[in-house]
């Protein structure tokens, strides 16, 4: 018996019952363009577009496209975009980090603690009864350690980035105020003049983006490399 199609696009047989063959045909007509659209946009936005952007970026700004890597003597020593941990007195120290064990790019994160958190302010000590190290350095501990290593008074005011951890835990820069407080320690440890260290700090200080965005910052890795180069 022949089938006909009503205005609702569902095929019916002559007795008024749905015709399964007509329904299947209608579904295929609807699925075909949907599937083709998914495949087309997957190729366009998932393959062609990323390849085009990669090609343009590697042509226009190859250093940034490859991670803003920093090399010394032909060896990659880091990136201008990711901080590193420095602990020796003859180096400038970065901002505290909560990313993994410190500046772990695979575990980028902040402390996720609110400004009124007792843990954030006072920290916690490790429980010797457990195998896991639960210790956490709070602002008070970080401030005390910073003042001690830089020979500052116990009540000396400190810049926020000296005692707090950023949201990413990977900040490559410190504030000029933070760097200024570390200058005497670095100069003494290296046996060079404060003026020389201050000039290197100024040379590695980056201003605001476009002159208005963000704040000025000192790239710690670049500064420490400049210090090593100046001492050769």
pLDDT digits (tens, 9 = 90+) for 68-91: 888 888 888 888 888 888 989 999
Mean pLDDT, all residues of the chain: 84
Instruction: State residue 107's pLDDT score.
Output: 83
Instruction: State residue 162's pLDDT score.
Output: 93
* Exposure string for 99-135, b = 16+ CB within 10 A, e = fewer: beebbbeeebbebebeeeeeebeeeeeeeeeeeeeee
List the structure tokens of 79: 């990136």
Task: Assign residue 11 a region (left: φ > 0; alpha: ψ between -120 and 50; beta: otherwise).
Answer: beta
pLDDT digits (tens, 9 = 90+) for 126-168: 777 787 777 888 889 999 999 999 999 999 999 999 999 888 8
Q: Give the chain's residues under pLDDT 50.
A: 1-2, 4-12
Instruction: State residue 15's pLDDT score.
Output: 53
Instruction: State residue 5's pLDDT score.
Output: 46
Instruction: State residue 8's pLDDT score.
Output: 47
Write the secondary structure of 120-147 as one string of H (helix), E (strand) and C (coil): HHHCECCCCCCCCCCCECCHHHHHHHHH
Helix axis angle, 176-190 to 220-230, nearest 10°: 30
Distance of CA 112 to the CA centre of its chain: 15
Instruction: State residue 72's pLDDT score.
Output: 83
């Amino acid at each position: 018996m022949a089938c006909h199609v009503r205005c609702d696009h569902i095929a019916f047989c002559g007795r008024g019952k749905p015709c399964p063959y007509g329904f299947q045909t209608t579904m295929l007509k609807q699925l075909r363009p949907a599937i083709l659209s998914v495949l087309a946009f997957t190729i366009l936005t998932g393959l062609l577009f990323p390849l085009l952007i990669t090609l343009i970026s590697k042509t226009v700004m190859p250093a940034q496209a490859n991670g803003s890597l920093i090399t010394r003597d032909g060896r990659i020593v880091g990136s201008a975009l990711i901080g590193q941990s420095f602990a020796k007195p003859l180096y400038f120290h970065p901002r505290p980090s909560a990313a993994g064990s410190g500046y772990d790019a695979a575990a980028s994160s902040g402390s996720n603690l609110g400004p009124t958190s007792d843990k954030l302010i006072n920290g916690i000590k490790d429980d010797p009864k457990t195998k896991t190290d639960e210790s956490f350095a709070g602002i008070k501990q970080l401030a005390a350690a910073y003042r001690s290593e830089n020979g500052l008074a116990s009540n000396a005011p400190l810049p926020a980035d000296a005692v707090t951890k950023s949201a990413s835990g990977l900040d490559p820069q410190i504030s000029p105020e933070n760097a200024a407080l570390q200058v005497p320690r670095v100069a003494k440890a290296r046996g060079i003049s404060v003026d020389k260290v201050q000039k290197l700090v100024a040379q590695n200080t980056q201003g605001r983006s476009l002159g208005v965005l963000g704040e000025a910052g000192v790239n710690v890795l670049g500064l420490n490399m400049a210090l090593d180069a100046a001492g050769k």
